[in-house]
């Protein structure tokens, strides 16, 4: 009986030891959904709202320009019977010019909105990365991965001990030594 008890205790110790060894070799991984963090954080919501206000103002300006274009189009269509060929050509040229201006305006405003969106997200992301690094160290995560594929960068944080870049460089340098 004592022999059986020693065997069982030995097996328990071996299992406990193996669990500790396995626990030390398996990296602790966390996932972060950046889009959710941006959309649900107070600062992210504030930035989204600011962008919405700006976008609505731009949309109003675009609609006003569209209205002017439609007015010119209607004026040309309804007045073409009373206008000379030269006047019709002038009105058509004016309409083409206004339409080109409208397209340029829309493209510029689209670029501005995209840039403003990037700047707003960039500021929030910068803050989030600091928080992720702090929490990762506190909670002893080895790797933090980005769940959201719309935000660049898959690995948001990694323990320096997991970085094998130096080893790769040494092996690669052995494979391709400097030619003298």
* Diameter of the chain measured on Cα atoms: 118
Q: What is the mean pLDDT of residues 70-86?
A: 81
Count how many domains the chain has: 1
Is 52 contained in some domain? yes
Q: What is the pTM of this model?
A: 0.60
- Return d(Cα 105, Cα 99) in angstroms, integer: 10
Per-residue model confidence as pLDDT tens digits over 80-126: 778 787 887 888 888 899 899 989 999 999 999 999 888 888 888 88
Would 143 be classed as within a structural domain?
A: yes
In a domain, 151, yes or no: yes
Q: Is residue 180 part of a domain?
A: no
Question: Does 137 have pLDDT greater than 80?
Answer: yes
Q: What is the pLDDT of residues 152-164, one digit of tens each?
A: 667 766 677 665 5
Is a pLDDT exceeding 80 seen at residue 175? Answer: no
Interval 11-41: pLDDT, tens: 565 565 555 555 556 788 888 887 888 888 8
What is the spatial order of strands in the sheet that 155-158 belongs to? 29-32, 143-146, 155-158
Domain residue limits at 30? 2-175
């Amino acid at each position: 009986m004592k022999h059986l008890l020693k065997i069982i205790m030995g097996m328990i110790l071996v299992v406990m030891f193996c669990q500790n060894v396995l626990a030390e070799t398996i990296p602790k991984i966390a996932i972060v959904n950046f889009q959710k963090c941006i959309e649900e954080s107070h600062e992210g919501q504030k930035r989204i709202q600011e962008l919405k206000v700006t976008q609505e103002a731009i949309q109003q300006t675009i609609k006003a320009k569209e209205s002017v274009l439609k007015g010119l189009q209607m004026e040309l269509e309804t007045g073409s019977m009373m206008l000379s060929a030269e006047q019709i050509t002038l009105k058509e040229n004016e309409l083409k010019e206004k339409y080109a201006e409208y397209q340029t305006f829309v493209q510029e405003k689209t670029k501005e909105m995209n840039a403003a969106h990037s700047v707003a997200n960039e500021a929030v992301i910068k803050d989030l990365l600091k928080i992720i690094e702090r929490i990762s160290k506190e909670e002893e995560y080895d790797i933090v991965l980005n769940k959201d594929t719309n935000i660049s960068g898959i690995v948001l944080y990694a323990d320096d001990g997991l970085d094998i870049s130096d080893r790769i460089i040494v092996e690669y340098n052995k494979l391709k030594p400097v030619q003298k």
